[in-house]
């Protein structure tokens, strides 16, 4: 799976924040790979299931490692094909239902078709290669013998796992790769938003079916996966709808222009008083006219608890804040705000012009849905 994401616009020398909820990372062929905490829950489930079978701990570890590598190879299939279309991959995030390759920009429908198809084909190729080797070496066993995990059927189970992973991702519903293939096909004759809505609706129906099947059969892991499928379909549909409502609209049309700032010499008590007396939750920290940090509500409360109310805000502020330009397309800026946490600073030539927060983005989208046309975008 590979939902795209625009390129980061953080200040020079400052690092883009990692995907929220990640619990570890490494690099593979220059691409950061992050493990979502829910992926670790999946590993625990596989370990417990394996220990209850007839295989040794060493073979169980080998099986888990093989599945992990299979998912990585799946994502590297997306990465390789996306590079062929000139699209770089910013990171890979590992979730329970598979990996997510985050791209720097949206692919065209033709490119998305082949990029989405590449991942499942990698897993199917691995499965066929393993079964071919087992067949010609005379070690292939029957399907019935795969019912019980053992040391003797490790390769067969790895092959079967890859086949299931490939076929599951070919289901024509979001957030699976098959949903992206379906959207790419539909986008040839209708809008991207309509194509996404159809694929997302299929994803929701699939998730509900999986949920009821898991509930009736007592397969709680299937219910767990169903929740992720449903949320993934909803997220993709909301993402495309948001892009459609913000495409061609500059950031200045949605930014907050009336806001309070804190001086680097202010105390956490001063910041807390400002938090209570205003509706603002994120405060730029300035040194003269220069913005040197951003203090959010959570950092403020943590600083209050750890360092005390008389400590300086400069000691708890975030120096790696996200800054965006006022003329930047709002569709590109929206993922940056979500990635930053809650707020991005709108700056031009190091001058602070406004704030762009989750809350005012939500309000802006609601107004756009109701038919309001931004004054800034009308006036150009």
- Same domain for 116 and 157: yes
Last residue of a domain, one of 226, 246, 266: 246
- Same domain for 360 and 289: yes
**Is the pLDDT assigned to residue 8 strictly greater than 90?**
no
- Same domain for 114 and 84: yes
3-state secondary structure of 26: strand
Last residue of a domain, one of 185, 211, 246: 246
Q: pLDDT tens for residues 173-193?
A: 888 888 889 999 998 888 888
User: The domain containing residue 269 runs over which residues?
Assistant: 251-379
Last residue of a domain, one of 184, 216, 246: 246
- Same domain for 176 and 309: no
Structure tokens of 1? 């799976």
- Same domain for 148 and 278: no
Predicted confidence band at 13 (pLDDT cuts at 50, 70, 90)?
very low
Distance (Å, whole) CA 3 – CA 176: 10
Distance (Å, whole) CA 329 – CA 331: 5
**Is the pLDDT assigned to residue 4 strictly greater than 50?**
no
Distance (Å, whole) CA 248 – CA 106: 15
Q: pLDDT tens for residues 228-240?
A: 788 888 877 777 7
In a domain, 17, yes or no: no
In a domain, 16, yes or no: no
3-state secondary structure of 262: strand
Q: How many domains does the chain have?
A: 2
**Is the pLDDT assigned to residue 1 strictly greater than 70?**
no
Q: pLDDT tens for residues 154-175?
A: 888 889 889 988 998 898 888 8
Q: pLDDT tens for residues 238-297?
A: 777 777 777 788 999 889 999 999 998 999 999 999 999 998 999 999 998 899 999 999
Distance (Å, whole) CA 34 – CA 26: 7
Predicted confidence band at 221 (pLDDT cuts at 50, 70, 90)?
confident
Q: pLDDT tens for residues 304-339?
A: 999 999 999 999 999 989 999 999 988 888 888 877
Mean pLDDT along residues 30-46: 70
Please report the pLDDT score of residue 354 as a whole number.
93
Average pLDDT, the chain: 81
- pTM, two decimals, is 0.66
In a domain, 224, yes or no: yes
Distance (Å, whole) CA 318 – CA 344: 12
- Same domain for 348 and 272: yes
- Same domain for 218 and 323: no
Please report the pLDDT score of residue 118 as a whole number.
93
In a domain, 217, yes or no: yes
Lowest mean pLDDT among 214-218, 219-223, 300-304, 321-325: 219-223
DSSP run (H or E) holding 161: helix 154-169
In a domain, 205, yes or no: yes
């Amino acid at each position: 799976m590979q939902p795209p994401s625009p390129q980061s616009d953080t200040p020079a020398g400052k690092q883009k924040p990692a995907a929220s909820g990640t619990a570890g990372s490494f690099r593979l062929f220059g691409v950061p790979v992050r493990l979502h905490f829910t992926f670790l829950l999946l590993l625990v489930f596989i370990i417990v299931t394996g220990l209850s079978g007839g295989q040794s701990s060493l073979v169980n570890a080998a099986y888990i490692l093989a599945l992990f590598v299979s998912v990585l190879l799946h994502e590297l299939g997306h990465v390789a094909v996306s590079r062929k279309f000139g699209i770089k991959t910013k990171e890979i995030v590992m979730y329970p239902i598979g990996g997510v390759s985050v791209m720097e920009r949206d692919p065209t429908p033709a490119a998305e078709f082949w990029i989405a198809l590449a991942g499942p084909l990698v897993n199917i190729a691995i499965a066929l290669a393993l079964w071919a080797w087992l067949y010609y070496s005379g070690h292939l066993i029957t399907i019935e013998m795969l019912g019980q995990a053992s040391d003797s059927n490790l390769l067969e189970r790895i092959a079967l796992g890859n086949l299931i992973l490939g076929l599951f991702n070919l289901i024509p519903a979001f957030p699976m790769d098959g949903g992206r293939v379906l959207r790419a096909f539909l986008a040839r004759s209708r809008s991207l938003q309509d194509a996404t809505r159809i694929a997302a609706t299929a994803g929701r129906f699939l998730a509900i079916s999986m949920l009821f099947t898991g509930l009736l059969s007592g397969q709680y892991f299937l219910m767990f996966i169903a929740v992720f499928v449903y949320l993934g379909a909803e997220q993709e549909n909301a993402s495309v709808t948001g892009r459609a409502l913000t495409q061609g609209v500059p950031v200045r049309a949605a930014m907050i222009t009336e806001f309070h700032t804190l001086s680097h010499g202010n105390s956490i008590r001063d910041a807390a008083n400002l938090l209570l007396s205003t509706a603002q939750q994120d405060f730029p920290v300035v040194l003269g006219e220069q913005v040197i940090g951003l203090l959010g509500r959570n950092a403020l409360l943590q600083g209050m608890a750890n360092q005390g109310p008389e400590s300086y805000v400069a000691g708890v502020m975030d120096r790696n804040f996200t800054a965006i330009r006022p003329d930047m397309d709002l569709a590109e800026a929206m993922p940056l705000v979500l990635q930053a946490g809650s707020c991005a600073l709108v700056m031009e030539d190091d001058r602070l012009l406004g704030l762009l927060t989750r809350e005012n983005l939500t309000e802006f989208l609601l107004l756009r849905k109701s038919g309001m046309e931004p004054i800034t975008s009308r006036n150009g």
